[in-house]
Each structure stands twice: as C-alpha cells, then as structure tokens.
Amino acid sequence: MKRILKDYPSVSLKPEDLVGRLDFGDVFGRDCPVHIEVGAGKGTFLLNQAKVAGNVNFLGIEWARKYYLYAVDRIGRWGLGNVRIIRTDAAFFIAEHVADESVECFHVYFPDPWPKKRHHKRRFVSPANLEQVLRCLKTGGQLRIATDHAEYFEVIAEVVRGRSDKLEEIEFILAAGAEAGEITGTNYERKYIKDKREILTIAARVRPDFPAANFSVSF
C-alpha cells in the first residue's frame, strides 16, 4: 500500500508566507543555534541530527517536490519540534531570507553536480553563493560539504580555499546518523557507497579574527 504523505504545518515553511529576512527565533519559537541543510532530500540527515541535538534548530531546503513532501511527513511523524523544511531555490532563499550572521553551520551534502559544462552555472557551490553563505555565518560558524563527483569537488575546494582570508579548513565531523564507513549518513551517500564511489569532503569555519564590519556583499 502506497504511503500517504501528510503535510505538517509545524514543520513546513511556505515561501509565499516569507517577507524579508527571517527571525529564526520567531520561526522556531525559541532562540537556539541554527543549522541549514542545502538539499535536504528525504530528511535523513535532518532527522538523525535533530534527534541527538535538541538544542539546535535545523532548517532544510529542498527543491524536489517529492522529496520535500516525504521529508515533511517523516519529520512530522517523529514529532520533532526543532526542524523546519521549505521547498524553494536554496540560493534565492539564502540571499533573500537569511539574516546576516544568523547561522552556525551550513550543510551541503551531495549537491547536484550539473556535469554538463553548459549547466555549471546552476551549481550551488559558486563564488557568488559562497559570499552569501559567509554573510549569513556567525564568527566561528562552519560550512561542511560532501560530494561523490571528483571534478565538482575540485571546483568546490577551489571556491572555499579562495576565501582563506575568512575561512580556515577544519576536520569534517561525522554526522550523527553515519554508520560504519559513512560520513554523512544520507540516502545519497549510501547509494554511492554501494556503487563504490569515493566520497570527498571539505569543512571550514569563519576565522575568529575576521572583523564582520569589514565584510559585505554587493550585487
């Protein structure tokens, strides 16, 4: 029997209801550190992290409607109050709705590599999007990225290391749901491990000596 997916208003955020930069305290009904996952998929990472880190607010962004609906239903069934999920374009959402220095960590796991050269402009990890991520991160805030695509990883590493003035590389922390041999514990990672693909990661944090007043984003 096909599973009936239910919408949980306590979990799902509607793009049409958003105006300007969000106050995460209002979104979650409490003031706690905020983690954002770009490309939440079916919510596996969010579910496992939220269960063990009750003192953290998690926001998942997912564009694919079928995965978004599944993730909302999944989180809702677990009754987790520290997770919100929105179906929207991640780059637009971050630029328009995430306030300066409001996020503790961005998780970007297995973003679409858009392998054809003419589609590279659609890739999430780019210099322009990184500038928005840096604007949103607090001092000491982290960026964690994982991919199975070697060529895209080279680009990702170049983009991240290109802002070594503000970012310092750190050890990639295993996710709470990662099982033996895994790093992020996501559905995509498990599929790629079965296919014997190498999982590549990079993690960095905002340097504590970087003055926020000297950082701005212009369009």
Cβ count near 161 (within 10 Å): 12
Pairing of strands 34-38, 57-62: parallel
- Respond yes or no: is residue 112 known to be catalytic: yes
Residue 69 phi, psi dihedral angles, 5° rounding: -65, -40
Separation CA 131–CA 167 (nearest Å): 11
Output the six-digit token pair for 107: 């998780």
**Pick the catalytic residue: 112, 148, 165, 209?**
112
Sign of the four-CA dihedral 98, 102, 156, 216: positive
3-state SS class at 139: strand
Return the active site residues: 112
